[in-house]
Amino acid sequence: MRIMPLEKRGISNSRIVFGCMGLGGDWTSAPLTKEDYIVAEKAVEAALSIGITMFDHADIYKRGKSETVFGEILKKRPDLRDQIILQSKVGIRFQDDVNPQRFDFSKNHIIPSVDGILSRLGVEHLDVLLLHRPDPLMEPEEIAEAFNLLRSAGKVRHFGVSNMTAAQMRFIQNSLPEPLVVNQLELSLARLDWIEQGILVNQKAGIDVNFEGGILEHCQMADIQLQAWGPLAKGKFSGRAIEDEPENIKHTAALVQKLAAQKETTPEAIVLGWLMKHPARIQPVIGTSSPERVLACQDALRASENMTREEWYTLLESSRGVRVP
């Protein structure tokens, strides 16, 4: 079994991450309801029951309510904090009455944002903090200063990024004394730019690929954990209504169902297993709050290990809608 970069660093061996964006009710400032707490508790319990021990947050998720409702779970189960890895993200600021929506990697935003995260979660430290999306105005030296202050204060143990290129990671890393440990990207069987970028080298078809070259290779060489957000492709291949989807999606959904039946597993396991088969040791971040769908992901690692190279390429070809060149 290939060891994940986070496991190499002694941070986490959770092969799947539970993404908490679905917790906390709606995206308004409306108060949390009793039902919101019940939904969160059931989803987290389902994740724990299948061996998930890493939980991914962001300060903006449900305008802070995702972290708040998770904090209530930790308050009820104080023993749980030492059994899990908590990851959160900062750097996106919502539009308000005066300012536009924007990114902010300034020290004056990062540090109080982390304080807010810790307060909502009711914990003393984060295991991993990610910069959420690239800030065009970022200054690596200032980021490093913020990270050093957070680490020295015991508030954050490790740092990473989300949705960044290899060049952006190197740009930030150049000012940091400690390695970046995560890059979180949208990767799935339905979002294939990360594969297309590699196989369409020196071909006209690759001109329109929207994925920066070298990200996967850089992360593998630097032992940066690649995490995949949206890995279940919003259920396109595992039961969601797809009458209006193109033929390649319909064909791939049928193929996923067929493979799941043959391997006596779930469509979710096949979809995640396809991602996890990649040698980059991708760590899916599942975003469902449905306990049933969480449980359906339990067999993903076995599905990955039992998937042949030919089955992997068959799924790729089906989702692409054309054969591999």
Is-contact 130 17, C-beta < 8 A?
no
Residue carrying the six token digits 């954990």: 225
> Residue 75 and residue 103: Cα distance in Å, rounded?
31
Q: Report phi then psi at 294, rounded to 5.
A: -60, -50
Residues recorded for the chain: 325
Distance between CA atoms of residues 184 and 198, nearest Å? 19
CB 157 within 8 Å of CB 126: yes
Q: What DSSP character marks residue 33?
A: -
Closest by CA to 225, choosing from 278, 298, 153, 273, is: 278
Active-site position among 18, 37, 55, 61 = 61
Q: Which residues pair with 56 in a beta bridge?
A: 19, 87
Backbone angles phi, psi at 215, to 5 degrees: -65, -50
Residue 61 annotated in active site: yes
Sign of CA dihedral 63, 54, 6, 128: positive
Other beta carbons less than 10 A from residue 310's beta carbon: 8
Distance CA 232, CA 215 (A): 21
Q: Token pair for residue 145?
A: 């200063």
Q: Which amino acid is at 32?
A: L
Residues carrying an active site annotation: 61
